[in-house]
């Protein structure tokens, strides 16, 4: 059922909701593991309970903490439960209904690119779209009009969060987000000349690499040790790369932001059209698609079930933010804003009978100092999700303990390996984990731990100890 967002009314109020159990003291084994952290109990909001059963432990379970990337579980659950696991995004190229192609391949009128917020459209997907124009005999185009009207402009200063404006996790969400908005800096060893060659992918105008990496001979003893500094020069960018690397280790790469999403997309479109042998006489600019425009080519995203696996296993921030805006565009007023989309997410969860209380969704990704969640709320979501028809897609989106995602190196040589599906979160002063642990007895448990403290990183060993203990039950 579609949800109509009534901004004046705020979040829909529901009577009842899931009843929260009172706090319950930690079992001795869990208490000992927590004591080893040296952290106060006041820094924790924690729940351990059997799926569909009783609570084993609850400490400050109703208190709201910064959940870091565990917030992604709330956003992805709202998406898969409301949109369904088969939901897809479509990005289309269109031309005017009366547009003509001359014998020389010149297209009269602009090309329209209608974007809907696909969080996983890659550079090769864009290349295939543009190739469809060349396939139809078009060699010269004027303007490319990018229609981003599904979302409002939500550009952020990528350096605001942590002072690292070139890091991909700080990318702004956008209705047309190509390759997560990031460039790939590629370094290839020249074994004969004993030096490193540097390349930019895609090779767009205005980006250079000043590479000063020392080539090390001998066997591959360790990975590259390099530093990257971005220098802006007007509208152009230069990456200065210093350090050293063993040639025997082979090619390596880094992803970096150089431009905002719109500027990056514009340069990528121009670059790829030129690579395909096309010419362009106009500009890449913002606009809307006429109602009578004729489709020429389209790209369809992978289904949502596959998208949320990438989001949760790899903890992709910008994909999560785009996903939240998609919910806003689907069920709220257009163009979707961050605020209206967060309201939609809260309404979806509230309609499921879950009392959100003081939950603050913010941008939906957990890359935020303002986001708030309690262990009670998260455990309620996990309990509800387990009873849902979309449970398999949701659970399989989480990292598997000791096997993949953000948990691939955790308890990898332990009997608990492979027996937990969890989402982790880590920020400065915040450490979190939430998900399901399967016990050797066949019982399954919900485990949520949100820790806020200047030394919150110490909670990692506690998380591991609890997952191991639950698996042994």
In a domain, 368, yes or no: yes
Q: Scanning the structure block, which residue is given the tokens 């702004």?
A: 172
- Could you say which of 256, 280, 311 is where a domain stops? 256
Looking at the structure, do residues 319 and 413 belong to the same domain, yes or no?
yes
Provide the domain count of the chain: 3
- State residue 205's pLDDT score: 87
Looking at the structure, do residues 152 and 218 belong to the same domain, yes or no?
no
In a domain, 309, yes or no: yes
Looking at the structure, do residues 460 and 366 belong to the same domain, yes or no?
yes
Looking at the structure, do residues 117 and 207 belong to the same domain, yes or no?
no
- State residue 9's pLDDT score: 31
Looking at the structure, do residues 422 and 315 belong to the same domain, yes or no?
yes
In a domain, 6, yes or no: no
- Could you say which of 234, 256, 278 is where a domain stops? 256
- State residue 391's pLDDT score: 98
In a domain, 378, yes or no: yes
In a domain, 170, yes or no: no
User: At a CB cut-off of 8 Å and minimum separation 6, what does 407 contact?
Assistant: 399, 400, 401, 420, 422, 424
- State residue 4's pLDDT score: 35
Looking at the structure, do residues 362 and 382 belong to the same domain, yes or no?
yes
Q: Exposed, middle or buried: residue 425 (CB in 10 Å: 0-12, 13-18, 19+)? A: buried
What is the full DSSP assignment across 92-117? EEEE-TT--B-TT-BBSSPEEEE---
d(CA 212, CA 20) in angstroms, rounded, equals: 58
Looking at the structure, do residues 312 and 296 belong to the same domain, yes or no?
no
Confirm if 219 and 204 have CB atoms less than 8 A apart. no
Looking at the structure, do residues 63 and 122 belong to the same domain, yes or no?
no
- State residue 335's pLDDT score: 96
- State residue 221's pLDDT score: 92
Looking at the structure, do residues 456 and 381 belong to the same domain, yes or no?
yes
Looking at the structure, do residues 315 and 436 belong to the same domain, yes or no?
yes
Looking at the structure, do residues 334 and 423 belong to the same domain, yes or no?
yes
Which domain does 371 fall in, by range?
Answer: 28-87+303-472
- State residue 21's pLDDT score: 62
- What is the C-alpha R_g of the chain? 25
Looking at the structure, do residues 330 and 441 belong to the same domain, yes or no?
yes
In a domain, 13, yes or no: no
In a domain, 9, yes or no: no
Mean pLDDT by 10 residues, the chain (473 residues): 35 41 87 97 98 96 98 98 98 95 95 97 94 94 96 83 89 93 95 95 91 95 94 91 96 94 94 95 96 95 98 97 98 96 98 97 96 98 98 98 96 95 97 98 98 98 97 95
Confirm if 145 and 285 have CB atoms less than 8 A apart. yes
Tell me if residue 1 falls in helix, strand or coil. Answer: coil
- Could you say which of 197, 224, 256 is where a domain stops? 256
Give the CATH number of the domain where residue 391 resides: 3.40.710.10
Give the CATH number of the domain where residue 277 resides: 3.50.80.20
Q: Scanning the structure block, which residue is given the tokens 């590479």?
A: 211
In a domain, 17, yes or no: no
User: At a CB cut-off of 8 Å and minimum separation 6, what does 5 contact?
Assistant: 328, 331, 332, 333, 340, 343, 344, 347
């Amino acid at each position: 059922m579609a949800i109509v967002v009534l901004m004046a009314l705020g979040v829909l109020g529901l009577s009842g909701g899931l009843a929260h159990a009172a706090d319950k003291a930690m079992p001795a084994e869990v208490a000992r593991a927590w004591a080893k952290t040296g952290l106060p109990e006041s820094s924790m909001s924690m729940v351990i309970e059997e799926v569909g059963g009783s609570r084993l432990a609850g400490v400050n379970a109703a208190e709201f903490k910064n959940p870091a990337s565990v917030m992604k579980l709330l956003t992805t659950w709202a998406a898969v439960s409301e949109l369904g696991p088969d939901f897809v995004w479509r990005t289309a190229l269109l031309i005017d209904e009366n547009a003509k192609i001359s014998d020389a391949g010149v297209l009269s009128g602009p090309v329209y690119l209608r974007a809907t917020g696909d969080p996983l459209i890659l550079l090769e997907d864009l290349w295939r779209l543009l190739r469809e124009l060349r396939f139809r005999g078009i060699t010269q185009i004027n303007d490319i009009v990018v229609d981003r009207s599904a979302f409002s402009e939500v550009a952020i200063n990528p350096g605001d969060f942590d002072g690292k404006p070139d890091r991909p996790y700080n990318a702004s969400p956008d209705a047309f987000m190509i390759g997560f908005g990031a460039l790939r800096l590629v370094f290839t060893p020249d074994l004969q000349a004993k030096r490193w060659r540097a390349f930019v992918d895609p090779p767009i105008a205005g980006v250079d690499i000043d590479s000063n990496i020392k080539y090390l001979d001998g066997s591959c003893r360790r990975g590259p040790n390099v530093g990257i500094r971005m220098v802006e020069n007007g509208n152009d960018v230069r990456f200065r790369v210093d350090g050293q690397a063993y040639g025997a280790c082979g090619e390596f790469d880094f992803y970096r932001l150089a431009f905002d999403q719109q500027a990056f997309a514009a340069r990528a479109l121009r670059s790829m059209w030129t690579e395909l042998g096309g010419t362009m006489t106009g500009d890449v600019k913002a606009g809307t698609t006429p109602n009578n425009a004729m489709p020429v080519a389209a790209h369809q995203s992978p289904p949502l079930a596959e998208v949320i696996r990438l989001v949760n296993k790899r903890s992709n921030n910008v994909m999560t933010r785009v996903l939240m805006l998609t919910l806003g565009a689907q069920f709220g007023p257009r163009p979707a804003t961050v605020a209206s989309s967060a309201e939609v997410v809260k309404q979806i969860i509230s309609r499921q009978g879950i009392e959100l209380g003081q939950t603050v969704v913010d941008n939906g990704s957990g890359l935020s100092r303002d986001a708030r969640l309690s262990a009670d709320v998260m455990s309620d979501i996990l309990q509800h999700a387990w009873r849902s028809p979309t449970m398999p897609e949701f659970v399989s989106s989480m990292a598997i303990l000791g096997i993949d995602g953000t948990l691939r190196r955790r308890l990898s040589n332990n009997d608990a390996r492979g027996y937990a599906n969890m989402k982790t979160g880590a920020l400065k002063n915040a450490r979190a984990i939430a998900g399901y642990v399967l016990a050797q007895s066949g019982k399954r448990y919900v485990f949520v731990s949100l820790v806020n403290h200047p030394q919150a990183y110490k909670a990692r060993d506690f998380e591991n100890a609890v997952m191991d203990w639950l698996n042994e039950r």
